[in-house]
Structure 1
Amino acid sequence: MKKESRVGPTGDGSGRSRLWGPYLSERQWGTVREDYSPGGDAWSYFPHDHARSRAYRWGEDGLGGICDEKQRLCLSVALWNGRDPILKERAFGLTNAEGNHGEDVKEYYFYLDATPSHSYLKYLYKYPQAPYPYNDLVAVNGSRSRQEFEYELLDTGVFAEQRYFDVTVEYAKADHDDILMRITVDNRGPDEATLHVLPTLWFRNTWSWGEHASPAPKPVLRAAEGPRSTRTIRADHPELGSYDLRCGASAELLFTENETDKARLFGTASDTTYVKDGIGRHVVEGEPHTVNPTQEGTKAAAHHTLTVPAGGSETLRLRLGPAGAQLTLARGFDSVFRDRIAEADAFYGELTPKGAGEDEARVLRQALAGMLWSKQYYAFDLETWLAEHHLTPWSLPKPGVRNREWFHMVSDDIVSMPDKWEYPWFAAWDLAFHAVALSVVDIDFAKQQLELLLRDSFLHPNGQIPAYEWSFGDVNPPVHAWAAYFVYTVEKETTGHADHAFLERTFQKLLTNFTWWVNRKDPSGRNVFQGGFLGLDNIGVFDRSAPLPTGGSLEQADGTAWMALYCQSMLQIALELVEHNETYDELVLKFVEHYLWISASMDRLGDLGDELWDEEDGFFYDVLRLPDGQAVRLKVRSMVGLLPLCASTVFQPQQLDRLSGLGDRLQRFAARHPSLSVTLSQATAGKAGGPRLLSVVDEKKLVRVLSRMLSEDEFLSPYGIRALSRYHAEHPYTFWVHGQEYKVGYLPAESDTGMFGGNSNWRGPVWLPMNALVIRSLLHLYGFYGDELTVECPTGSGVRMNLFEVAQEISTRLGRIFLRDEDGHRPVYGGQPLFRDDPHWRDLISFYEYFHGDNGAGIGASHQTGWTGLVAALMKIFGTLGPDAFRPRTTRR
C-alpha cells in the first residue's frame, strides 16, 4: 500500500489532523439550546422560518459543511434554483407538531465517504429544479392522521422527469489546515437548467451576547488580494488565526454580518445594516443594498451562477488554508483528491472482511461514513443558559425551563450525534452504541466519546449520566460499562494494545454512576429496578416516565435486566484490572454479589405471582404493584421480556483463577443466603477448568424464551428481532383503569399515538441496538453451551441451530435490510421504485432510526447512522470471525 501522508485516513497521531472536520450541524433551530421561550416550546420559539434571519446563540448549521473543532469558522454550501422563495442554506423538515408522526427531515442527502481524520469527505444533496414545496409538505402532513403514511418529498412530484441537480460536495486535505473543496453539479433533467451555488464562509456569533456571557472579540471577513484568476476571502480570528478561502475568478463575493434581522422577525430596528439573511435577500429577491459594498463582514459567500446542460456537469474548486500560503486551484489540486481517495479506498479495503461482496462493502463503507460525518461540535454552558433564563443554583423550579439541576454542565466538545438533523444533541445510551460501531473504524474517537459523558463537566455530582438535551435528568439504559469493555477488547484484540488506563478511568467514574442507580432506582430495596421509560419510549402499557394512573409503582423487567448486565460488565472490567492492581479484588466480589441479588429478584424460589418471570408463559413481564400491595403482571410480550436474555456473560477460568479464595468466599455467601443457591449455581456450573456463566436465565428458561423469540409468528422478522411480538396483532393487551382502556397492539411501523412525540415506536419495529445486544448474549451463551445446545430456528421449522448460528442468522437478517435483493430492491426503501431502478439512487443508502417489523422499510430519523451504524460492526464480526472464536475452550459435559 502507498505510504500515507500525515493527513491520511487516520492522521499522524498528533490530533492536528482533526482540527477541521464535518462538525457542523444540519439543524440548530428548534433545539433546547436555542429556546428562550417562557413555556419551553423549543420548536415554536425558533422555527425554520427564523433560521435564515436569526443569529444562533450556541451553534451553527449548514448543508454538507465543515468547521474547526471549536466551530469558530464554518464553511458550507448554499443553493438557489431560481424558483425557491428562499436560499437553500440548511435542510428543511417538519417540527414535532407539524408531522403526523412527529418531526422529520424532508430532504434527500447522503454521506458517501469519510475517513477518521477527515482527510477525505464526500456528501451528496439532491436539489429539485422545481420550487421546493415547503408549504405543501407542512399542509398535507398536517392534514393526515397518525394512521396514514407520511407525505414525503418524493410524493410531491418535484423529482418528476428527473428534474433535479445532484450536488456532490467533497473535501480533501493537503495538510491538517489546508482543505480543498470540490463541488460537482450534475443536471439529471432533460433540459438545460441554472443553479446558483454559494459556498459560504462565516464565523459563529460569539460576540453579541449580554451580561451573562463572555463575549469574544469580533472576528472579520474581508475581500483580499490573491493569485491571478482567483478571488479570495480573508478570515481573521483572534484565536483561530488567519485563513484564506480561494475560489475562481468568476465568483461574485458577497458580504454581510451574522447578526439577527430584527426588522424582518420582530418589526424593530436591527443592530446593523447588514444582517444574516442579507446574502439570501440579495440573490433571491434582488435587493441591492443588503450586502456590504465594502466587502467586509462576518458572513460571506462566493456566488457562482452555473448553467448546466441536460445530463451535463459543472465543477467548482475552492481551497481554505492559512493566509498567505500558496493555495493554488490549478496545478496539483486534482492530484490531492486522487491521493486522498486512493488512501480512503485502501483504508476501507483493509477494513472490509475478505469475501464480502461489492454491495456488502458499499453498505459497510456508507454506514461508517455516516458515523464519521455525524460528529458535531456541541456547545452548551448550562450555568450561562440558566442564568439567561433568570435561574440560579438556589432558585426554585421554574415552569418551562429544563435542566435546572445541571448548572455544573459545560460542553465545548465534538460529540457523536444520533442524527444531525432530527437529534442534533447527544443521548447517553445512543452514544454508547455509537462507540461500539465507531470502534470498527476509529478506536481513539470511540474511547474519547465514552469518557466524555463521565467527565466532571458532564457527570452530575450525584453520579447521574446526563440523558439527552430535552431532559438531562431522565434515565437512559446503563450500557456505558458494556460499551467501554467492548471497545477496550476490540483494541486489545486488533492492535495488541490493552489500554488499562482508559479502562480504569472509565471504571472509577462508573462506580459513582452504579451507586446512583442502586440508590435512586431501587426504591423498595428489593433489587427490582424502576428506571422509567429507559429509552424504549411507548413499549409499555403506560407512559413509564410519568406517574401511573393506578398509583403504586412499576417493577421493570428491562430495568432489572439492565442492572444485571451493568453488574456483569463492571465485573468484567474489574477482573481485567485486578491483574495489574490487586485492590480490585474486593470490587470483583462486590459486583458478583450485586449480580446474584438482582438475578435472584427476577425469579425467586417458588412460583410466585409477584415476580418478573412467568413460569406458565415462559417469559418475563413488568409487574404493576398497586397501592394496596397487590401485584399484577402486565403480560405484554415485548423486548422488555427479552432483555433478561441479554444479561448473560461468560468468564474464562483464567480470569477467575487470578482471585485467590474467590470460590471459598462465594460458597460462604451461598451458605448465608440459601435463596440464592440456584442463581449461584449458574455462576459455577460447567466442567472443572471450563468457562463460567453468569446469566439471568438457566438452560430451561433460555430455551423457552428463545422459542418465542425465534418464532416468525412472534419476534423473528425477516429483518431481525421485532421489539414487540406479532402475537399482539390479533391479541392486543388491554388494561382498564377508572373506565379508561390502555392498550398495546402490534404496530410494525410508525406509532399511532402521540406518546413521546409520535415519531418513535417500540411496538413492533426492528431496532439495531437491541438486536446487537441479543446477538452479543447469544455469542456469550454459545461460549458456555457450545455446539451441544441447539434450538429450532425458526421455531417450528425443524431446523436446529447452535447459538452461534442463531446469532449469525439474526445478523444476516439485519444486513438484508440494506442489501439489494435478487430484484435489485433494498428493503430499507420500502416499495419506492426510484431507489430500486434509477442508477442515480439505487446505491445510495440511508441508515434509519428503526425498521418496519414485516418488510424492513426504514422509519424514523432517516439519516440516523448512529446506532444503526452497528450493522457495520456486525458485518465485520461475522465476516471475520467464525464459531471457533466463541466456542468453549473445554467440552462442557
Structure 2
Amino acid sequence: MAPAKTPEHVRLEQSRTGEVAWKAWGPYLSERQWGTVREDYSSNGDAWNHFTHDQARSRAYRWGEDGLAGVCDERQRLCLSLALWNGADPILKERMFGLTNTEGNHGEDVKEYWFYLDSTPTHSYLKCQYKYPQAAFPYTDLVETNRHRGKLDYEYELLDTGIFDEDRYFDVIVEYAKAAHDDILMRVTAHNRGPDAAPLHLLPTLWFRNTWAQGGAKPSLTLDGDAVVARHDELGAWRFEADAPFLFCDNETGPKAAINDHVVDGAPLSATAGTKCAAHHVLEIAGGDSATIVLRLTASDEAVDADAVFKTRIEEADAFYAEVIPPALDADRKLVMRQALAGLLWSKQYYEYDVHRWLREHEVNPWDANAPDVRNVPWFHMVAGDVISMPDTWEYPWFAAWDLAFHCAPLSLVDVDFAKAQVELLLETKYMHPNGQIPAYEWNFSDVNPPVTAWAALWVYQREEEIRGEGDREFLARVFARLLTNFTWWVNRKDPDGRNLFQGGFLGLDNIGIFDRSAPLPGGGTLRQADGTAWMALYCQWMLQIAVELGKHDSSHADIALKFVTHFGWIAVALTPPGADTPLWDETDGFFYDVMRMPDGTTIPLRVRSLVGLLPMCAATVFEPETLDGQPGLVERALKFAEHFGDSVPVLAHLPGANADGRRLLALVNETQLRQILTVMLDEEEFLSPHGIRAISRYHLDHPYEFDWDGQHYEVRYLPAESDSGMFGGNSNWRGPVWFPMNLVILRALFNLHRYYGDDFKIEFPTGSGKEMNLREVALALGRRLSSTFLRGPDGRRPVYGGSKKFQDDPHWRDLILFHEYFHGDNGAGLGASHQTGWTGSVATVLRIAG
C-alpha cells in the first residue's frame, strides 16, 4: 500500500483500521427533522402538518435532531449547533425554515441561504456559511405569497422579499476543527455586510437527544465554574467551554422552548442545569465590521491553542484537496469541485428508524389484516441507526436508495472506505427486506428505485484499486451475494408476465411519461417500459462484470457469470422480439418507446422522446481480453449459447466479435441503432442542451404528445423548468430539465462504447454541425457542458444562478455554489431542492474526468 500523502490521509487510515475514531463526530445533524415520516404520529399520514416548523422549537423529537450548521456524535446522543437572534425575529433562528409540500407552488422548498464551503472526510475541519437578515425574517410573507402562486409561476424566494436590500444581513461563518478525535473547537465569525451597526445574539447550543423518554438513564448538563459538564452513560464526561453566560433548559416538550422565550420575550430562566444549554453572546457589530467567538467541546484535559489548531487544520485540508483535485483545473473549477465534495460530506446524517417500534407506537400490528392503513407496515423488520449519505439535509433528510448509490462515485474520490460502507448499507439484513427488495425512501420503502447499487459497487471497487493498487474482493463478493437476492426479487416481482419486460414504480424517471406508472393505466392496460427493461439489462451487465472480476480468483463464479449472459439475452429479445406487432424499438424513428398493451391484446406505442428511449443505449459493457482470458471456457460457453438461440434473440444473432484489441462488447443496441439514437440525442433541437442531456426532447415543445381515452386527455410537453403535472405530489420534474445522475449513466456508456468501437466510430457533435467526434470526445464535450452549469462564463456569470443579480454580481455571493436537484433544460438555471449536493455532487466526478 502506498504511504499516506497528507495528515488527513493518515487520519483516514487511522479511522479505517480503528486506531483512532476520527469520524466519531461529524456534521451528522440534519437541518430539518420536523415534517419527516419518523416524527409523524398522525392518523392520516400527513407528516408535514403533524409536526410543523412552528412546533419544532417547543416539541421534543423522538427519532432525530436538527440544527443550524451543527455537529454531533455518530449516534446523535450529544449535539452542538448555532442559534441566532437579530433582536427583531419573533423566534430564535435554531433551524432552517421552508415551505411544506402543500405551501410551495412547486412542492416543498427551503427558504434560506446557506453554503457548505469545506470539509475533510474525517471532519477534522468543517466550514459553513449562513446569510442571516438583520430585519425580522419574513415567515408569513413567504408562506402567503407562495400559497397564491400557481404551477406556472416562479417560486417566491427569500431574496424576492427585499430582506437583503442594502446588504443589511450578517454573513455567519461556522467552522469546526478537531484538536483530537475527542476535542472539537467551534469558531463563529459574523460579518455585518450592511452600512449600519446592528445587534446579533450568537447562541452556540449543546443538547442531548431525548432518548430517556423511551426509557434509560437521563443525561445531564451542569455548570462547573466557567464551563458546562455534559455527562452521559455511554459518552462519558465532556466539557463545553465558552466565554459567555450559559442558559439552561430541558430538551423535552414544553421546556425545550425556555431559552427561546427568555432571549426573545424576556421570560425568566432560573435553571442552572438541564439537558440543553446555550452560551449567550450579545454583540453589536458595526457596519462592515466582524466579530468572532471560539468555543470548545472536549473530553480532554489538555490545553490547546485554538488559533493554531484552526490554522493547521485549514492547511491540512488544502494539502488533502491538492491531492484529490487535478492540478490542471483552473481556480474556478477547483472551487466548484471542492464545494461539491464539501456538500456531500456535510450531508452525512445520522438516521434512526426502528419501524417495528414506530408501528407499535401507532398501535399497528403488522400481522393484523385489519390494521390501520399506516405506511411501511411491510418493513417492520427494519432497524436503522447509522450515519448515511443523504440527498440533502433539509428537503431530503432521509436516505433514498438510488441517490445513495450515485453519491458513492464522488464520495470515493475523498473517502473510499465510507463509500464502500454506503454501498453495503442497504443490503444489510436490518435494511433489506427478507424478499430481497431494497428500501426506496421513508415515504414509501416499498416503492421502486432503479437498481444501480451494483454500478456503485463496481465504481467504488475500481476506485479503491486505483488508490491502493488492489480492489477489495471480499467487499465485492459480499455485495454480489446480497445483490443476487435483490436481482431475483426484481425478476419475480417486476416482470408480471414473465416476458422480461419490467415495469412499475418511479424507476427513477418520475413523471417523465404520459401516465403515473405507479397507478392503474387507462382501460386496464399494462405498460412495457423501455427504461425498466433497460435498467434490468444494465443490472445484468453490472452483475456479469462483478462475477467476471470475482472469477479471476474463484472459478465457481464462471457459471454465475453465464447466468447473467443468458438473462441479458432474454431481456434483449423482450426489447426487440422477432415478429412483434409493436416492438419497443421503432425502426422509422430510430428510437425506443414505451408500449401499452390493452386487455384485448392490442398495443399502443407511446411516442414520447425521453430518457426512456435513451437508456437502452446505456446498456453497454466492454470486457478486456486479459479479463476473459482468466475465465477458461466462459467466452466459449457464451458464444455457444448465442449460436443456439441466435434465431430467436436478434441481439445474439448479431453479437459483435472481438475488436482489433481483443475487447468484446455486450450491448442492447447494434451499431446502426446506436448511430440512430446518438443522432437524436446529440441534436440541440432534441436532447442536447448547453448544459447536458435533457430528460425530454425539445421536439415536444411544439409537438406535444397527446393521448385520449374514455373522455380523459393526457399530454406530455417539453417543460425546461418545473413540471406543471400533479403526478407524484406535484414536485417531480422530469419533463425537460437536465439531471446529473442520468447524464453520468450516459457518460459511462459513451466511454465504454468508445473502448470497443475506437476512434474510427465518429458521430456529428452537435448533430448537423458537420463536426465529427469519436465517442470519447463526445463524452468529454458533454462533460464540459455539464460542468459549465456551475462555472463562470466569459461574461462572468454562472448559469446555475440564472437571472439572480445578487448571486451573479455580488462579490459576497457569486462564489458560493448551490448544487440543485436539477437544471433548466435551456439555460442551466438551478431548480428543485437547492442543496441536493447528493447526486448533483457528481459534478466533482465530471470535473475530474472532463474538466
TM bracket, shorter-chain basis = over 0.9
Tell me, yes or no, if the aligned pair for 2:114 and 2:131 is still in contact at 8 Å. yes
Match of 2:191 in 1: 186
**Which one-letter code corresponds to 1:153 in the other structure?**
L
Structure 2 residue 248 is matched with structure 1 residue 255: yes
Give the corresponding residue for 1:270: none
Asked if residue 281 in structure 1 is aligned to residue 281 in structure 2, the reply is no
Aligned to 1:163: 168
CA change 1:316–1:2 in 2 (3 A) is: farther
TM-superposed CA distance for 1:754, in Å, is: 2.2
Structure 2 residues not aligned, in runs of 5+:
none
Task: Report deviation, 1:579.
Answer: 1.2
> Contact (CA 8 Å) 2:450, 2:507: kept in 1 or not?
yes
Matches within 5 A, 1:597-746: 597-606=570-579, 608-676=580-648, 678-681=650-653, 683-687=655-659, 690-746=662-718
Query: How far apart are 1:515 and its partner, in Å?
Result: 0.3
Q: 1:584 to 1:207 in 2, by over 3 A?
A: same
Question: Hey, what does 2:279 align to over in structure 1?
Answer: 302
Whichever residue aligns with residue 193 of structure 2, its letter is R
Q: Following the alignment from structure 1 to structure 2, what is the Cα–Cα distance between the partners of residues 439 and 67?
A: 23
Which residue is 1:244 aligned to?
239
Q: Which residue in the other structure is 2:798 paired with?
A: 826
1:661 offset after TM fit, Å? Answer: 2.3
The aligned length equals 846
Q: When the two structures are superposed, what TM-score results if normalisation uses the length of structure 2?
A: 0.98
User: Which residue of structure 2 lines up, in the alignment, with residue 549 of structure 1?
Assistant: 522
Tell me what 1:846 maps to. 818
Deviation at 1:25, TM superposition (A): 0.4
Counterparts of 1:143-154 in structure 2, within 5 Å, are 143-154=148-159
Cα contact 2:29–2:72 (8 A) shared by 1: yes
Task: Quote the offset at 1:390 in angstroms.
Answer: 1.1
Shift of 1:373: 0.2
* Residue of structure 1 aligned with 2:136, choices 131, 135, 138: 131
Query: Structure 2: how far apart are the matches of 1:629 and 1:240?
Result: 65
> Residue 773 of structure 1 aligns with which residue?
745
Q: 1:397 & 1:298 partners in 2: Cα distance?
A: 41
**1:527 partnered with 2:500:** yes
Matched, 1:495 2:506: no
Shift of the 198–11 alpha-carbon distance from structure 1 to 2, 3 Å rule, reads farther
More deviation in 457-466 or 750-759?
Answer: 750-759
After TM superposition, the structure 1 stretch with the greater mean CA deviation from structure 2, 689-698 or 159-168, is 689-698
CA distance in structure 2 between the partners assigned to 1:25 and 1:687 by the alignment: 51
Please point out which of 66, 75, 81 is paired with 1:70: 75
Note the C-alpha offset of 1:252: 1.8
Q: 8 Å contact 1:782–1:804 — kept in the other structure?
A: yes
Residues 59, 204 of structure 1: 8 Å contact kept: yes
Equivalence for 1:264: none
Structure 2 equivalent of residue 363 of structure 1 = 336
Q: 1:739 to 1:454 in 2, by over 3 A?
A: same
Q: How does 1:326-725 map to 2 (within 5 A)?
A: 326-328=302-304, 332-396=305-369, 398-606=371-579, 608-676=580-648, 678-681=650-653, 683-687=655-659, 690-725=662-697
Counterpart secondary structure, 2:140: helix
3-state SS of the aligned residue for 2:706?
Answer: strand
Q: State TM-score, norm by structure 1.
A: 0.93
How many angstroms does 1:182 deviate by? Answer: 0.3
Q: 1: CA distance between counterparts of 2:35 and 2:607?
A: 38
Contact kept, 8 Å, 1:255 with 1:297, in 2: the verdict is: yes
1:238 and 1:525 map into 2 onto residues whose CA distance is: 55
Query: Aligned partners of 2:156 and 2:632: how far apart in 1?
Result: 64
Contact persistence 1:122–1:168 (CA under 8 A): yes
Q: C-alpha displacement at 1:208, in angstroms?
A: 1.1
C-alpha distance in 2, partners of 1:749/1:193?
39
Query: What is the CA deviation profile of residues 812-859 of structure 1, one whole-angstrom value per residue up to 9, with x for unaligned ones?
Result: 000010001112111101111111111110100000000000010000
Change (3 A) 1:170 1:774: same
- 2:56 aligned partner: 51
- Contact 1:713–1:727 (CA under 8 A) maintained in structure 2: yes
Q: Is the 1:161–1:189 contact (alpha carbons within 8 Å) kept by the matching residues of 2?
A: yes
- Residues 455-475 of structure 1 show CA distances to partners (whole Å, capped at 9, x for unaligned) of 000000000000000000010
How many Å separate the matches in 2 of 1:780 and 1:282?
62
- The alignment's C-alpha RMSD in Å is 1.4
Q: Kindly provide the CA deviation profile for residues 71-110 of structure 1, in whole angstroms up to 9, marking residues without a partner as x.
A: 0000000000000010100000000000000000000000
**Cross-structure match for 1:104:** 109
The CA distance in 2 between the partners of 1:5 and 1:821, in whole Å, is 33
Given the superposition, is the C-alpha separation of residues 432 and 295 from structure 1 closer, same or farther in structure 2, using an over 3 Å criterion? same
The one-letter amino acid of 2:230's match is A
Asked whether the equivalents of residues 572 and 649 of structure 2 are also in contact (C-alpha less than 8 Å), the reply is no
Q: What CA distance in whole angstroms lies between the structure 2 residues aligned with 1:202 and 1:803?
A: 55
Give, in angstroms, the shift of residue 535 of structure 1.
Answer: 2.0
| AA matched with 2:480 | F
Q: Secondary structure at the match of 1:337?
A: helix
Query: Identity over aligned residues, as a percent?
Result: 62
How far, CA to CA, are the matches of 2:346 and 2:13 in structure 1?
Answer: 15
Separation in 1, partners of 2:154, 2:337 = 29
In 2, Cα distance between equivalents of 1:665 and 1:411:
43
5 Å-filtered alignment, 1:875-886, equals: 875-879=847-851
Deviations 1:312-364 (A, max 9, x none): 000000000016x1355xxx210100100000001111111121000000000
Cα distance, 1:645 vs. partner?
Answer: 1.0
Quick one: which amino acid aligns to residue 326 of structure 1? E
2:120 paired residue among 115, 118, 129 = 115
Deviation at 1:546, TM superposition (A): 1.0
Which range is displaced more, 800-809 or 5-14? 5-14
Q: Does 1:4 align with 2:7?
A: yes
Name the CA distance, whole Å, in 1 between partners of 2:636 and 2:14. 51
Deviations 1:756-800 (A, max 9, x none): 222220000000000000000000000000100000010000010
Matched-pair contact (CA < 8 Å) for 1:467–1:473: yes
SS of residue matched to 2:22: helix
Task: Tell me what 1:267 maps to.
Answer: none
- Alpha-carbon distance between aligned partners in 1 of 2:370 and 2:291, rounded to the nearest angstrom: 57
Measured against aligned partners, the alpha-carbon deviations of 1:577-629 in whole angstroms (never above 9, x if no partner) come to 011111111101000000111012111234x3322111111000111011111
Residues 500 and 6 of structure 1, relative CA distance in 2, 3 Å threshold? closer
Deviates more, 1:378-387 or 1:667-676: 667-676
Deviation at 1:674, TM superposition (A): 3.2
Q: Determine the C-alpha separation between the residues in 1 that align with 2:394 and 2:756.
A: 43
Q: Closer, same or farther in 2 for the Cα pair 1:410/1:739, shift >3 Å?
A: same
CA distance in 1, matches of 2:653, 2:228: 72
Distance 1:8 1:579, change over 3 A: closer
Please say if 1:200 is aligned against 2:180.
Answer: no
Distance 1:877 1:533 in 2: 30
Superposed CA deviations along residues 718-748 of structure 1, whole A, max 9, x for unmatched, are 0000000000000000111111101000110
Does the residue aligned with 1:455 lie in a helix, a strand or coil? coil
**669-678 or 82-91, larger mean C-alpha shift:** 669-678
Q: Which amino acid in structure 1 is aligned with residue 219 of structure 2?
A: P
Give per-residue Cα distances to partners, 1:95-133, cap 9 Å, x unaligned.
000000000000000000000000000000000001100
Residue 707 of structure 1 aligns to which amino acid in structure 2?
Answer: T
Distance 1:243 1:425 in 2: 29
**Cα distance in 2, alignment partners of residues 857 and 6 from structure 1:** 36
Given residue 344 of structure 1, which amino acid in structure 2 is its aligned partner?
A
